[in-house]
Structure 1
Amino acid sequence: MARRKKVYEGKAKILYEGPEPGTLIQYYKDDGQLDAVPPQAAVEGKGVLNNRLSEFFMSGLNGIGVPTHFIKRLNMREQVVRMAEIMPLEIVVRNYAAGAMTERLGLPLGTPLPRPIVEYYFKDEKLGNPMVSEEHIVAFNWGNQQDLDDIIALSLRVNDFLSGVMLGVGVRLADFRLEVGRVWEGDFMRLIVADEISPDSCRLWDIRGLDLSERAAQGHEPIPMANVYTELARRLGVLPTNVTHNTKPTLIN
């Protein structure tokens, strides 16, 4: 079998040329993502679980009419995805105050937001992925006003879906990060959800225990989700039977 041509390698994934024109093979590594929310360490078997979890979420979004790049899962670590022109933006949707928002606005960690808030960050690690406004995006031609309207609509639909799914298994979705890509169908261009949806790109809190408002009133932080990869896959019913760590992922030094 001919060797696949590598197209791109990031912290958590490798992209190879796909089996058909306009497709890619996305391979999930076990490496951690330092820019995840929150940062994730390298975990044995993480790539297998993220492959299954992203398949679950992307398939669910496709099923309700939210377009994604996901086509099908090939094996334990690989899936076929649609090739897209990735916008140089990270879109963060926040439901609760956490991370940088608590620092910027002085909000207590875990404060429910009055409505989901969509933020934009310019994808440049050398600059620290700075937060940008819609004015920056239009001025520097990273997207136009129609793109921004579509991103907002897409992001909020993803948020509704993910929040509902997570709530159903006892998990609170504090915030998450999306990447969006452009695809062309003839002369028609549309935006789709790309990259992945997994614990590497979500901040998840376990609902078990005191209510968030009660914990905040008592000076306690929200409960982080323990063993997030394995536990989320187990709750969603997508935990592979041949993953070796049945209880707790093994951290790689």
Structure 2
Amino acid sequence: MVKGEKLYQGKAKSVFATDDPQRLIIEYHDTATAFDGKKRGTIEGKGEYNNLISAYFFTKLEAAGVPTHYLGTWGPREMLVLPLRIILVEVVIRNIAAGSLCRRLGLEEGLVLPEPILEFYYKNDALGDPLVNDDHIRALGLATSAELDVLREQAQQVNAVLRPLLGQAGLDLVDFKLEFGRHHDRLLLGDEISPDTCRFWDTATKEKLDKDRFRRDLGGVEAAYREVHRRLLGRGR
């Protein structure tokens, strides 16, 4: 298989065509952004860590019956995937209060929620990815009611698979963001599952081991990504 032209350049990854129209390559970058691109930087090794961590999670989810776009790794920071028509709805699952949930509802950070909260956000940088409900999504023509039911079911299944998996590694899955897309007549989990898109806290110390270290200038960003990779895949870089 041959890596072809660049089809898309995002904040943290690029998408390339291949000589097979049913195969794309995602290349993960070390660049980091926060606050709708207002803060920018570089996290050394992030592209490699996010690629390998995402591959690990996608493999586990596929084994548990969650369909994804993942086909395999193509290199240390490249992943082979199925092409998707991305649904412009981000699905967020929250297990522990953090981030915008605390700001919106006045909750104390670290509060363990009595049950997971599922939220939808309109994937639109110009609008700041606003929180939306089913009615908004249908009115905007982003997804049907039947598709939203699938997104809910699959997101909850992802949570059910990942929480114990991370627990075995001494990590709390605080919250995470998912993106889905259409591949022919199927809805598949896409994008990535990594410290960029999840909040991971050390179970014992509650130390943050994710992109919040970059957002909040906590330092030790590279070490946090490396530690998550080590705990999940059993080796350092």
TM-score when scaled to structure 2? 0.89
| Paired residues, number | 223
Aligned partners of 2:69 and 2:83 also within 8 Å: yes
What residue is the counterpart of 1:71 in the other structure?
Answer: 71
**Which structure would you say has the larger Rg?**
1
What residue is the counterpart of 1:95 in the other structure?
Answer: 95
Change beyond 3 A, Cα 1:128–1:177? same
Deviations 1:83-138 (A, max 9, x none): 01100111111001111111111111111112111111111111111111111011
What residue is the counterpart of 1:192 in the other structure?
Answer: 188
Aligned partners of 1:18 and 1:80 also within 8 Å: no
Change beyond 3 A, Cα 1:22–1:35? farther
Match status 1:124 vs 2:124: yes
Change beyond 3 A, Cα 1:74–1:105? same
SS of the residue aligned with 2:32? Answer: coil
In structure 1, distance between residues paired with 2:155 and 2:112: 18
Change beyond 3 A, Cα 1:194–1:79? same
Change beyond 3 A, Cα 1:69–1:31? same
Aligned partners of 2:3 and 2:18 also within 8 Å: no
In structure 2, distance between residues paired with 1:73 and 1:19: 17
Match status 1:224 vs 2:208: yes
Kindly indicate which of the two structures has a greater share of residues assigned to strand.
Answer: 2
Match status 1:111 vs 2:111: yes
User: How far apart are residue 17 of structure 1 and its match?
Assistant: 0.2
In structure 2, distance between residues paired with 1:126 and 1:165: 36
Aligned with residue 230 of structure 2, among 211, 227, 234: 234
What residue is the counterpart of 1:249 in the other structure?
Answer: none
SS of the residue aligned with 1:32? Answer: strand
TM-score when scaled to structure 1? 0.83
Change beyond 3 A, Cα 1:232–1:97? same
SS of the residue aligned with 1:80? Answer: strand
Aligned with residue 202 of structure 2, among 202, 206, 210: 206
Aligned partners of 1:55 and 1:73 also within 8 Å: yes
Aligned partners of 1:230 and 1:239 also within 8 Å: no
Change beyond 3 A, Cα 1:19–1:60? farther
Match status 1:86 vs 2:86: yes
User: How far apart are residue 22 of structure 1 and its match?
Assistant: 1.6
Structure number with greater CO (CA < 8 Å, separation at least 6) is 1
Q: Which runs of 5+ in 2 are unaligned?
A: 210-219
SS of the residue aligned with 1:208? Answer: coil
Change beyond 3 A, Cα 1:53–1:238? farther
SS of the residue aligned with 2:4? Answer: coil
In structure 1, distance between residues paired with 2:203 and 2:3: 46
The residue type equivalent to 1:130 in the other structure is: P
Aligned partners of 1:93 and 1:159 also within 8 Å: yes
User: How far apart are residue 6 of structure 1 and its match?
Assistant: 0.6
The residue type equivalent to 1:119 in the other structure is: E
Q: Which runs of 5+ in 1 are unaligned?
A: 210-221, 244-253
User: How far apart are residue 21 of structure 1 and its match?
Assistant: 1.8
SS of the residue aligned with 1:33? Answer: strand
Deviations 1:5-37 (A, max 9, x none): 11001011000002422211000110013159x
What residue is the counterpart of 1:162 in the other structure?
Answer: 162
User: How far apart are residue 172 of structure 1 and its match?
Assistant: 0.3
